[in-house]
Structure 1
């Protein structure tokens, strides 16, 4: 009798747990999506109907895959190739409000094209509206200040911001210069006979990796090369996972890709721990300063500060926090500037008149002297060119935010669970905001500054905007100016006949088939 009762109780618990799991699944995959869909339709917004369980994921993958099959003509009308899924949604469901919604699995994503609503979204500081929580695969790649929300984000941002102040950037100029000199010397050897065809995309990946290694971690690219390689591999694995719906628990299955993701993550963490221990030892023996990003992070780490930091546990960083910030800056610090430099050289190859104007300015400002921080700020034509390249080829084609508590934006009430998609590339290419030449390369539109050309509307935000604007924006632009100035002084360049114009999104906006140019020594 007692045994029967125990069995009955056990089966009751199992049945209750199973029913709860079924209910949670039904709520996640059907009931909540239908409620959210009705809430959007009731306010006059239009979008694709929800389809269990993937929504529009498969259609989006097919559209992107089809767009990538062939290179495009040499032009800057890249939207249909880079984000065909967003262009299609806007054409089908945008209407007068230009706020269509699409489905990423059971999550509706509302596309926001209104600059005022975008400003409200990016300036929001409460826990109502934050970045979506990344799935476990994404956290294996990068986390840190870019992914954190709420108080944790605010704490990390306060700690990291000083690493990118103007005075810190001035102190980084010798490292920038040394990395540039190594790159230029290598190219001069390659072009010793006068000309040389070169794929600049991997060249700039190595260069920016070297810069971030020296300025943020006090090492060189060779020392951090294994970390970069592993992070790139993890990135590819993450992108494969990000293109489909993540089902909770899927990462625990012993698949080949899951095993490899975990192996890569463990090796990266091990390498970074070793780097941290080496720096700790060097700081203790006064062989290294705490003047770079890693040193700054270790000041706030009770384990490594050696009791000198006077930082309470509440504001301190754990060793795991330090590792996550290192992963982020190894990845993002390399990627963003590499794509900016690559697209700038491609665009200047397409527009030799602007290449000539930029070179004339560099020679006028610097002559044969080494660039310094103050003189870089006098490169007005270079500044216009970089802004125009960032407008046409923004590193991140779109941003995502998620509503966690019901809120009002503009004339709309959005319930919790709605995701907001800010299509940076569509807004940057919009004739409504930029005129009929929106998809033409015309740097002079920035001659009087960003606020003048945008009419103080938020229609230019290549590094995001508001409290979560990229802390490394000035770092990236200073690095890019320094590198381009040195290249322009030593070389002219043109597109190789083997170059295929094929922008595509892989984390950032990359050249799908590389960036082949022909260098000519001057």
Structure 2
């Protein structure tokens, strides 16, 4: 530490007294790189090793990023068996590190230590976050352009936004959105019936359900959030999907101070997409504001509830300025699109795959749906009676959680599980590994057994609870009920009208992008009932 202080003082002296302006800037930048990629990692790594944490050694300057990319490429290059044992393919590096060093182990995200915390008790403690001691990892401006909102806010701003947004997802509001859910599901069924009938209607028709469910959930979020048709929201959907791909490319790029400001082709594309999305959303909000002023707005959708709640909270606070600004509302709308589409689309996709692999559960779920609804349109009262369908969805969320890991970061010295973490350490919560842990779920942890949820979530695992598909604690996903009702509505409609199985062309390839997606699609053979 003394040597580092002396070095820093020497550099400061050079900066201040010996060099011209351009050289000062160059040396300042070089010092920042040296400090962030060599000095600080050595200090943090030493502090963690001194407390008994094992793991990979830091390799300048990429850490484990190159090895992670190499392992992922090797796994993607070979076929995976048709199995639910997906953790090696989802993150081979974590799989290897946990096997060699234990459930709590150190890896390196570039020059930043990332500690795997694979203990549900510690995960709950981190996510409970009662005093704000563990914060969301600071992604800079890149991820913020994708979905800045509740997921990125901290402290009072998060609390204020959560209070304003929560009413939009209350049960009575979901009831008013059910017609939008039903209309979108009916459109999907009609489209699929058209596919089958185009081939004569007697046999089975192959359909890649992954883009179909992306369109479905994009339609749902457009109608239920903004009261607009999917055609108006399609461009936002396309841009946000493209931004996800751009973010993934950015994550695999070595971080250097100021890198996101360089005029690279990727950075320019991210900025252009962000500007277009914001312009489109400002247009939607502007139309709604005018309609509200003219007294002709129907505020039963998410945007209307959000704007009314914002106005009410602002008035109650006695503020002359809205608690949520226009930029805040734009950020939350982008998050509605991103989270509202992606999470439910992947849940429905993996549910179709799982029920195709396990036809007995498809039959049981269909029998329940027909017993509750017959051939009638599914409604909210009936949806709450679907025990088997709920068990199936929970088991799919366990085996294929949309978010395979959550990250938190220490911003000051913190004690957790007997280890004192210095500031600047990423705590990686590997949800997919916890969900597949045989110590928690039994020797059949990699098997599809929905009956494990027969008595609810709390009794499904040995460690109660070890189920985190929507997070945990005060920051648990505010839209989880929205996602589950939407999924149950769509799945019930599909089970009423079709039987299905895997296509011979299907390749089982779960791959984490923004969510856990089917890398080569999800080709399903549909047969009309």
TM-score range, shorter chain: over 0.9
- Residue of structure 1 equivalent to 2:161: 156
Structure 1 residue matching 2:459: 3-state secondary structure = helix
- Residue of structure 2 equivalent to 1:207: 216
- Residue of structure 1 equivalent to 2:401: 394
Alignment of 1:66-215 (within 5 A): 66-94=74-102, 98-192=103-197, 193-194=201-202, 195-215=204-224
CA contact (8 A) 2:457 2:465 kept: no
CA contact (8 A) 2:104 2:115 kept: yes
- Residue of structure 2 equivalent to 1:49: 57
In 1, Cα distance between the equivalents of 2:268 and 2:121? 45
Deviation of 1:292 after TM superposition, in Å, equals 2.2
Give the aligned CA root-mean-square deviation in angstroms. 1.9
In 2, Cα distance between the equivalents of 1:164 and 1:297? 10
Deviation of 1:14 after TM superposition, in Å, equals 5.8
Deviation of 1:244 after TM superposition, in Å, equals 2.5
Structure 2 residue matching 1:371: 3-state secondary structure = coil
- Residue of structure 2 equivalent to 1:58: 66
Correspondence 1:375 to 2:382:
yes
CA spacing shift, 1:255–1:23, aligned 2, 3 Å: closer
Deviation of 1:282 after TM superposition, in Å, equals 1.9
In 2, Cα distance between the equivalents of 1:409 and 1:272? 42
Correspondence 1:240 to 2:249:
yes
CA contact (8 A) 2:440 2:463 kept: no
- Structure 1, unmatched stretches of 5+, are 1-7
Q: 1:31 aligns with which of 39, 47, 58?
A: 39
Q: Cα deviations across residues 386-437 of structure 1 (Å, max 9, x unaligned)?
A: 0000000000111100000111112111111111011111110111001011
CA contact (8 A) 1:396 1:508 kept: yes
CA contact (8 A) 1:301 1:318 kept: no
- Structure 2, unmatched stretches of 5+, are 1-15
After TM superposition, the score normalised by the length of structure 2 is 0.92
In 1, Cα distance between the equivalents of 2:463 and 2:68? 33
In 1, Cα distance between the equivalents of 2:455 and 2:154? 36
CA contact (8 A) 1:209 1:334 kept: yes
CA contact (8 A) 1:196 1:518 kept: yes
Q: Cα deviations across residues 445-498 of structure 1 (Å, max 9, x unaligned)?
A: 110111112246231111111111111101101000010101001000011111
In 2, Cα distance between the equivalents of 1:359 and 1:407? 50
Q: Cα deviations across residues 142-168 of structure 1 (Å, max 9, x unaligned)?
A: 111111122221111111111111111
CA spacing shift, 1:314–1:245, aligned 2, 3 Å: farther
CA contact (8 A) 2:395 2:448 kept: yes
CA contact (8 A) 2:107 2:115 kept: yes
CA contact (8 A) 1:401 1:420 kept: yes
Structure 2 residue matching 1:130: 3-state secondary structure = strand
Correspondence 1:410 to 2:417:
yes
CA spacing shift, 1:413–1:499, aligned 2, 3 Å: same
Deviation of 1:189 after TM superposition, in Å, equals 1.4
CA contact (8 A) 1:300 1:316 kept: no
Q: 2:331 aligns with which of 324, 340, 352?
A: 324
Deviation of 1:501 after TM superposition, in Å, equals 0.7
Deviation of 1:19 after TM superposition, in Å, equals 5.0
CA contact (8 A) 1:299 1:309 kept: no
In 1, Cα distance between the equivalents of 2:367 and 2:29? 68
CA contact (8 A) 2:33 2:257 kept: no
In 2, Cα distance between the equivalents of 1:100 and 1:213? 42
Deviation of 1:513 after TM superposition, in Å, equals 0.4
Structure 2 residue matching 1:325: 3-state secondary structure = helix
Q: Cα deviations across residues 57-96 of structure 1 (Å, max 9, x unaligned)?
A: 11111111111113311111111111111101112222xx
Deviation of 1:11 after TM superposition, in Å, equals 4.4
Deviation of 1:23 after TM superposition, in Å, equals 3.6
CA contact (8 A) 2:365 2:389 kept: yes
